[in-house]
Structure 1
Amino acid sequence: MAYIILTLLPLDFRADKHCDLPHIENGRIAQYYYNFKSYYFPMRKEKKLSYSCMVGYTTETGTQDGRITCTANGWSPVPRCYRKCNKPLLENGIFYGTEMYFKIHEKLQYKCNPGYHTPSGGTEDTVQCQPEGWSSQPSCTKKFESCQVPNLHHGNYFTAQQVLRLNETLLYKCDEGYRTAGGNTTEEAVCLTRGWSLTPNCSRITCSSLSAVAHGGFYPVKKIYEEGDVVHFFCEENYSATEFDLIQCYYFGWHPDPPVCEDVRNKCPPPPLPPYAHIITDRRTYHNGDKVRIQCQSTFEVRGSEEIQCEKGKWTSPPICIDNALFIWKASVSISAKLFMSSSVKMVESLRLSPVLASFQRSNYRTPLLVLETQQDCASPPVVKNGVVLGPLLTSYKNGSSVEYGCQHYHFLDGPRTVYCQQGNWTEPPTCFEKCDSPPSIANGALTLPPLTQYDNGSSVQYSCSEYHFLQGSEKIYCSEGEWTSPPVCIEPCTLSKSEMEKNNVLLQGFYENQIYFYHGDYVGFYCKQNHFGAESGTTLFQVQCKRGQLLYPRCVAGEK
């Protein structure tokens, strides 16, 4: 009888599954997929899935629903839901059509009233709804027959004319530290039917914003940095800044480049330098594995390895430099040269003298030069402020001996705990730093945790501001040598004033509707009331920045500018 043996191999049903449950912002798939996620996901290739966008959102093709397919690279196309575009505000013109909401890629055409034109200079234009909003803001501005020369701060015009005719050119120059609207020191502006080709303006030179620093931070923190601004970088405990911790904004940008925070366990402090020595290979930063050669001065002899290495944030033991200064004296010896030569070694041993003879080759010289190496003791070890020597304090210490330091209560020790006597001098002693008291309080802000009475060096605390207040500076401050680094400042918000708006004949743009408070640095949009125009610019739309609780409201006047 024959038997057939079948070997059943387990199949990995997940091997061909590639697509997990998709996360769709502002969209969803059928609820049962969420309820039985482990059953349906991951899905196999070629499987299809439908999803729907929430009200007010559409797919990239402009539909409410979408369909995606599982591929080897995941879901295709990537499911996304985009916010629909609201019909924008338009002064001095009309839109074609009555729709109030527009899907992605839909277009909206508008026409300007007689005497007004689009940004391109025509009477009609089209804008398109895109994922980030309208392709451009529809606007109709008055056609100019001449251009008023605007006031120029931090710069000068090359003409005294106050009004220029169409196509005439206005040349101006900015003061040092400022740039024109086009980013130059001098610039030309042309008078066009829609106004100046580029409105003359001199702005302070600025540098790019700074990115967040891993394991550290910087202060002051600003949205915009001006030429001359200095930024100080700091690192968390157990981290230190590479290269320089201070950078400055110049007309060409930041210099030097912003540092990063490195783990001190991968970095060594400056190498220890014994007395009477210098470093041959010196650099600013040292990392694990870096080596340094130490050389003694010409009249000193090195004892120990001339090369030290950075290992796990610490240096291997450095050598010491021993003084080769010698006491030389003439020893009158009334014995014959033969007797001296035969007994000189024994004589040296009995006298405990090192290298014994200078020159015996000189024919008329019969007195040998005996050489003795000096061994200098040390006086009492140096006094360390807020520190003490552990153990009995002596008046004299033998060369090569050592003492150990400790710090008083509420202080911490920085540097070597043990110092050594080397040829009459002590190696560098440590420092005892104070701890910090409770951190300072700030106006319109508070600590995120209750304060302690004492903080160790390197400790940090964090602040937060009251609602709508802007935090300027670092939210964290650090205890450094008994002092706190500078705390942040909480800048008050701007409060919208209906009376000021009424007084200046302006209204709040719809985007900012129902907002009363605005953060320092935020922009607020206004527009003129019907049949009113900007008192200075002649335009009807304005963007005003909130600065330290103050809003400079634009002023609109009745009639044409």
Structure 2
Amino acid sequence: MISLESFILLTSTIIICQGTSSSNKKGICKVPALENGHHMPKKDLFNIGEWMQYHCDEGYMTAQRNIVENIQCLSSGWSEVPQCSGITCPLQQTDNLHLVYSNGSVSKFSCNNGFILQGLEISQCYYYGWDPPLPTCKDSGERIKCPPPPQPMNVQVIKPKSDYFSGDSEILKCKPGFQLHGSQSIICKDGQWTSPPQCVRFHECGDPPSIPFGKPDLATVKPKYQSGFFVTYKCNNGFEMTGLPEIVCINGKWSLPPACISNTDSCQLSIEKISLNNLVLPKSVSVHKPLSNGASIPTRCKTGNFLASPSSEMECLNGKMIYPKCTEEKPCRINQEILDENFLELDSKHDYRVFFEHGEIIHFMCKVGYTTISDTTGLCFKEEIYYPYCRQI
């Protein structure tokens, strides 16, 4: 019989992430460092009032014992510091109850002689605690099988049965008004269940905000908008867009929309956009001198940056200054093998492209005979592409 005092249930690494300073004079929050997880939407800076959602990887949980959390950019910085730490469960010394063995996150218990085990002898440690609850010494029996399927808050087992053994699987779904995060199917493997999903209440966004001298692209307009949905804007003729052309619905709120400003047949260089795109101009070029329509200027990337545009020349075209873009990150390359594995293909908007720049949204669609329960958009982030997944209809 093994003593609980000599048993270490799980190892855990606590990751402490750094947020913004308490002053936040610039009115923006930088994405804190986050190990063992990732965040949405995939951008590095957030304005005050915007929300960020972060997801912990398999085997990790937030400080609130969830796998998904939302934090907000405030005037004092982030509402809380995101962290993903290894999943652990408390195990207190209990009279007459002993640990028989531990296999990863699954533990088996027994009682002293003369006592009977009440409850199940096997329990598994999840991000939300022990499931099923730890037994007490009033009932008995040794079973070599999986415990009942885990049922975290707001998750339902579609067709439960009395006994489960290795190889058995169950399909989980969320209660109405909640969105599934994680795998819908869980499997009994060697006496333990694979990690169950989390059901998070979703908040729909209202209609996308209107902007002067511009409007949303009808191709991206939907009857309803859930978290992760996006809308693209277009400016009227004679107006130039500033800011990102796409807004994203996160936690019931839209990210900031772009603005449309008037332009003329001549162009004026923008020091801000030159700096934003990490460009270096020839010394002979004056940023204060207007450029005539059709004029172009050669540029180069700042040291340590990579060209993410087809050309390195700035060009004045119909009153609009076209700037090449340089980024600190290398561009992403489409992986055809992953497209085939996920039953994806690029939509007609992108089907000619192989490379995408850091932070760029990529539009996919499912192959014929396949569908997805989420949006079919992907993202280029630090040379890696986030691919959606399609399943057979």
Query: TM-score, normalized by length of structure 2?
Result: 0.31
Which structure has the bigger radius of gyration?
1
Greater relative contact order (Cα < 8 A, sep 6+): 2
Structure 1-normalised TM-score?
0.23
